[in-house]
Amino acid sequence: MTATLAPPVRIGRGAVWALGLLALATGALESVVTPTLPLLQRELDMSPAEGALLSIVLLITGALITPVAGKFGDRYGGKRVLIRLMAVVATGGLVSALAPSLPVLLLGQVLQGAMVGALPLSFILVRKHLPAGDSKVAIGTVSGLFVGGGMAGTLSAGPVAEGLSRHWMFALPTIAVIGATVLVNRLMPHDPPGRSDDAGIDWAGLVLLSGTLVTLMLVLALAPDLASRQPLALGALVVVLAAFVTGWIAVERRAASPMVDLRMLARPAVWKSCVLTFVICVGTAVPVYLVPQLFAVPADAYGFGAGATEIGLFLLPGAVAASLAGPIGGIGARRFGSRAVVTAGIVIMVVGLISLAAVHTEVWHLVVGKMLIALANGLCVTAMVTRTATSVEQSDTGIATSLVLVTRVLGFAVGSQASGAILTAAIPAGSDVPAESAFVTGFVMAGVVTALALLVVRTMSKGVKE
């Protein structure tokens, strides 16, 4: 016999902002490696291959933990799972801060990957404790602060690492994560479990998805070298990837309680959001990678010779735009519908990308272009997450939004690796500076890919809910 649960307690602004601060802190901790990767490679004597591994390990573990966290949150209660997850993240941050060598730092990054599951858990809590209209704005606020935190981490990591040490660039956001977690634990009421089924965890699905993601990252990272030197090895990796994907789909379709519910992915509202999120994040990842690289190109070539601190300052307008995009996207989705917000975001992003391809001879060209792209990405991703979260049953919020957030991670990984491959292929013999045409190619490619998303947008309903 199932007990009757009391209606959830409505939360105030303080609890919402506590979730937002947690999103801000985790976003900052997530982003500190990318701008300081050359410094880490130098201090830890890493090879380029080891540096590539360090840059993607958090993405891999984050993509794995997100659907599990969402499923547990739907089943056992969002607050309980969120607090435990943040304990793992804080441990990972402290391990990274104290790491004396690459293996220890990799361990810290693996533990930090659990932070990606915080967003769907926050959405579970928001939907349980707020009415539908207010929850859309709250989801937009939390999403926007996560994006803003990522940009803040990118901005501050270089100056902190250069002015203090690489240890402090992990320690400071970890301290913020701990403080925000304490606030959430104090201000957020406990939410009752949303599911009463006793089905076990889909461990087979988890293992196969792990193999799929790890193999996919290897293919993306090694493809430029293997394609010319060892095409058979590349072909073997592709075959292994196909086998993992096939096995994972077969297991998930038969599992009593699948880790990723493919039936939910078949819903138009969910699969369209996933496709759009992937395409938009691929397009966003290209300038995220290329713009700092272009800033760092020596001034006697065609770049600006900027250091880590200067690059952070140049990216500041983009950080502001990204942090504002979440709340704007949530309000826009509430008033005009998700399709209108996504369409506007895609148009803004395409304009920014094509502008960067056409003109990039002055610092302000890159600053404005990057600001437009950061704003557009925040609008699109917020609208997609909001649309997905409000188009499914409340008990499925964590699973559905997890699918979108995993897609976001994969989109950024694919876009970053593609950008790196374009630059690598354009480096002339005897030089370490890629040809300027490689940047133009990357921006144009990203613009075309992003524009194709409009084909999917046309099939969306005007409202948030289908």
Report the pLDDT averaged over residues 142-171: 81
Report the pLDDT averaged over residues 168-192: 82
pLDDT over 70 for what percent of the chain? 77
- Res 135: pLDDT: 67
The residue to which tokens 């707020």 are assigned: 130
pLDDT-derived band at 47 (thresholds 50, 70, 90) equals low
Which of 11-15, 100-104, 285-289 shows the lowest mean pLDDT across its residues?
Answer: 11-15
- Res 286: pLDDT: 85
**Would the pLDDT of 56 be above 80?**
no
Distance (Å, whole) CA 257 – CA 213 = 21
pTM of the model: 0.72
pLDDT-derived band at 2 (thresholds 50, 70, 90) equals very low
Instruction: Give 366-402 pLDDT, tens digit per residue.
Output: 999 998 988 888 887 777 766 666 666 665 666 666 6
- Res 50: pLDDT: 60
pLDDT-derived band at 341 (thresholds 50, 70, 90) equals confident
Instruction: Give 444-455 pLDDT, tens digit per residue.
Output: 999 998 888 888
Which of 135-144, 147-156, 236-245, 436-445 shows the lowest mean pLDDT across its residues?
Answer: 135-144
**Would the pLDDT of 177 be above 80?**
yes
